[in-house]
Structures are given as C-alpha cells and as structure tokens.
Structure 1
Amino acid sequence: MDKSWIYSSRLSNAYDEGVNAFLEFAQTNNPKLDVIPFPFVNYINLCHHSIDNVRYHLFAHDFDENSKIWSFHGEKQPKSDSRCPNNSIPPNAIYTKDMLHDAFKYVDKEPDSLKSLLEECDKPLYGQFGWSDASFDALLSVLKDILPSNNTIPSSIYESKKLLKGVGLQCEKIHACENDCVLFWKENKDACQCPTSGTSCWKKNTKNVPSKVLWYFPIIPRFRRMFSMPQIAHDLTWHAQGRVNNGKLTNPRDTLSWKLVDNTWKEFGQEKRNLRLALSADGINPHKSLSSKHSCWPVILITYNLPPYLCMSRNFMMLTLLISVPNQPVKDIDDYLAPLIEDLKLLWETGVKTFDSYKKEYFNLKVVLL
C-alpha cells in the first residue's frame, strides 16, 4: 500500500483522514486482526499494538517516512516472481528485519538499541572478494574434520570446482586460420596448416599459440537446461496459452514467418515446446576503445517462445559464438558459424531427447531459426 497519499493529505490538513484510511485498510485486509505492527517513526513495524493505540500515537507523532510501501499489516502478499518485477513482493518487505519482532520486547524502552539492531541487519557478514584460495582450502579442511567421518564435503577448492564442473557453461575453443579460410575443426582438427592457403595455424615465432580462436558455447545442453527448470519450461509454451488472435501484430507469434512454419511443417507446429529462434551478430571494440585494432563479434540467439518481459532479458539472450578477429569477418563469417549451424541442423532435422520438468515427461525437442 503506497502511503504517499497520507503525506499529501497531511499537507492539506487532512492528516486524520489519512490515518483513519490507513487503519481501515489494515482492518479490511484482515478483519480478525486485533493488533497491527506499529508504524510510528521510532518503531518502524517492529512491535504490535492495538488499533486504537496506533491511532493515538500516529496523531501525536508521525509515520516512518522511510517506508513508502506498507507490508506486515496483515495484507496478503503476492507470490514472488523474480523474473517479472511487476509481480514481486515490494523490496521494503525485508524478512531479516521481520525476525526482530521477537527481539523488540527487550528494547521497547530503548529505541537506540533498536537502531543498533537494525544497523547490524544491514551489515555484510564478511567483505567480498577478499578470500584467497588457500584460506578457502583451510576452511574446507576444518569443516571436513568437524563433520562426521562419512561426510562428503570437498577437501579443497580444486575438488569443489570438479564437483561443480557439470553445471557450468560448456565452451569449445576452436582454432581458426589466420586468413579466415577454415576452422581447424572436425576433419581439420589435427592439421597444422590451412588446407586452403597453407598458412600455419600457429602465430609466427611461437609454439602452440593459435593465430585465431573461435569460442563456441554449445546450444543443445543449454536448451535442455532451460526445460529442466519447471517455471521456465512452462514459460516456453507461453505463446500457445490462450492468446487472443485479433489480427494485430503484437508478438512474433503473429508474424507470417511463424505461421508459415506452423502451416508448412505441421508436426513441428503441433509441438508447442519446439523453439522459434532469432539470430543476431554484430562487432564490438573491446575495452570501450573505438580506435582499437581488435574486434569481437558475439553471435546471440533469442528464444521467441518466451513472454515479452523475458524474451529480450539478459538471462535469455544466449551467447553462442564469440569471434575474435582484427577486422570484421564479412563473408568469411560463414566459416565461423559452422559449429552453430551444425547443431541447428541437428535440432531441426532430427531433434534431441529432452526432459520437460514442468510436465514431468520426455519429448523430442526441435528448433527453427525464423
């Protein structure tokens, strides 16, 4: 509940009406409520009083003006959804401070003590980015000794990284010809010279240092991971969930290319979980330097199945290739796209077995690049 109207009403000599409206709001949201958190400036919702007592103190003193949204007054909170900011619990509803309700009875007569407690709530437990690998190893060693002998806690940071390797983002480093002729990949994987220009794959006067490197982040395991999270798996069928077809172009779902896929390849269109993708590529100068002689070309996939507020969000803009070349690749970009194209062809022609964690079933996932 936004209480800015209470302040404005006070300025217009109608403060009493604002207070009564607030208390009526608190009672309406919970008719059985006998006491409510005390919004007096020195107590900021950390003790409970009867509504009459709250009314008296609010007339005699004031609200806490740092709190712009009312919470903890019996009103029902919406379900939290970190992906959609319009449907999330107000940021002022900090549950750490809610724990101080029980502690407040010990500082009821000492507001300064309450202030100290609140300040402690906001302090970080430790300084970030100051923990060395050696000290973390020492901590793991101590924890392993403290816990029962059959514990499975990693004994070092190296073991921890091995344990988490399976959930990390996979990356393939593929060497490329200095002249952008071919990738040293698949049949050319073990070649030391470009089969087209005869150029060495290594930098001049160096050993085992590639001339150019393409970074490829495989898309198939990442698509599978999207369906491994129930909420995201559900969101990936948003385009088919009772949308009104009013003949207007309001979403990629309404485009001719989407409808062409559905009508031409009906089996593909009938599976609502099949993905429709867009691809974007552009060059950037690293380190914010426009005069740099080096450029990076990220190649990004967008999943159009998702709701609009997720479709173009950073979490779902999938970096697939990072082409690092001195100059823009122009027509030679086809060579660099080869690993991505191979996976896209597999996902279009054959598909891959994928587990839908929302429906708790396996299905054959296919994709199309619109």
Structure 2
Amino acid sequence: MDKSWIFKDRDSLEYEIGVESFLIFAEENSKDPNNIPCPCGHCGNFRKYNVKVIRGHLYEKSFSLGYTDWIWHGETSSKSVRSSVGSTFLPKEQNAQSETVDVCEATYNSDDHDSYDFNRFVADAEKLLSKGSECTKLESMLKLHNWKSRFGISDSSFTDLLTSVGSFLPQDHVLPVNAYEAKKTLSDLGLEYIKFHACPNNCILYRCINLNGSECPKCHLSRWKVAKDGKLRVNSPAKVMWYFPIIPRFKRMFKSPDTAKQLIWHSKQRSNDGQMRHPADSPSWRNIDYRWPSFASDPRNLRLVLGTDGINPFNNGLSNRYS
C-alpha cells in the first residue's frame, strides 16, 4: 500500500484520499470500531477513539511520520514481532510524540523480543488503565512517577495517592496499589540507578578509598544523620546521590538501528571539505584522534562533552555560587 501521502500537505487531495483509505483499513481490521488506536502525531497509538474522532486528529495534528508500518491496525510488518497479547510491537523510526514506545524497543535486544520479560512489558504498555479509559497502564505510571520525582514525594505518600486514585477508578482498573508495585512496573524500562552516600557539603562521595569512611576527610562532617538528641544514626546517610549509569544507556542507544546509524554518522557520512559543520571538524576532536588513535579507530566509541550552561567557570565576581 502506497503511504507517500503521509508526507503530503494536509490540505492536498493525496492526503485526504490517504486518510480515508487508512480509516477504511483500520475499521475493517479492528475488533471494536469505537476503540481504534489513533496514529496522529499527538496520540502516537496510545489513545483509542472511533473513526470520526481519528479523522479529525489526522487533519488537525497530522499523521505520525514514524508510523509507516501499521502494525497497531492489523498490518503485518517484516520487522514486527508478536507480543503475548497478540499485537505487534516494533516502531520503525524514532518519533518524538511516542517516546514511550521507543523506550520499550530500546530496552531489549532485538534477539530477545520473544522473551517473557519483553512480552509482559509490551502487555503493560498496551493494557488500558480501565475499560473505556484513554490512558494505558504504562503511560499512567510514567506520568505519576514524573510527578513524584518533580515534587519529591515520598514512597508512603505515593502509596496513599495510588490508593486514593484507585478508589475512584472502576473495579477492573490495573493501577498498582502501592509504590513498590509501581516501581516493579517500570523496572523493565532499564532505568536502573546506583545510590552513593555523599558528604553533606558535596565534598566527596563515599566510594573507592572513602567507601568505609565515617566522616568527610575535607570538612570532617559525619557521614551519618544526627538525631535530635545529638546521637549519630549509623547506617542512615546524611546525603545520598542517585547515579544513573551511562553505559547501559549507551547499549540501549546502539540497540536501535536508526539511533546507531546516527551515532557513527561522523565517520560514515561527514563531509571532509575543511568547513566546520560538526564537532568532528573541530581541533579538539582531531586532538583526541591524534592522542588516542586506538580509541579513534572505532567509530562506535562515544565522546562525551561536559556542558556548563548556566555556570560561570571563571571567578570574576559576576557569579561565584559554583566552584
């Protein structure tokens, strides 16, 4: 089926004919005509509506450009795989409007799509929060966890919130009942983290040579909290830093063929015309190539940049909040 109309102007006749052909195809292959995934750029197949509403979305918000294999609407893709609930799941391209779907794809190796963990994760991604709901279980968990993180809500308060919200939902809802179950729902995203004890004044992290220390060697503050009676609460750190390991993130980036192609673009497609258009054209990049040729020989080796946006690195009296 020709899908070039997706890239046409929404006022054109080609786009209008294409939308109608898609709606006919989607309705013929749907089990419930009133609950068809909407492929517009805003909904990203997470929300379900009838044909009339979807038609309005496609003209108002356009068709999701990354959705060229209509696997959510009954079309078989050569790259698709089947989940445990009988639906296909594998986005072809990255799409800013359906980041949750991309995260699901990047979490697992392409050879592991038939694993139990992947099937269970996809089932959660597709499962509606309750019958007739416009939100999936995974989507609701991502929004609630984002809210929890932004306002520093404790696990006990989060559990109370889930309990209260669950009491307002129909009895068939799939919202987790407590913070522990909610964390388990998102654990398969691969968002693992490591917690390091830190000095209250941010002098050091208690790792490596300071792993077993009880006070900061620089400012001599205690590693542990001090109770109201002045006693140290051993094993209760005064400050904790949450570290998200970067290596697993790199691995997930290379699991996506499209992202992996962009990561090595500087080696395969960069123009060597003497003009500076990319960091790879800079003297700093060439200096790294010269000093560490074995590192530079493999284009998959990534180079990290430390951004100082908003921080003045010079002690000139204008802004000295940071060292």
Return the TM-score normalized by structure 1: 0.38
Write 1 or 2 for the structure with the bigger share of strand.
1
Provide TM-score, normalisation by structure 2: 0.43
Q: Which has the higher contact order (CA 8 A, sep 6+)?
A: 1
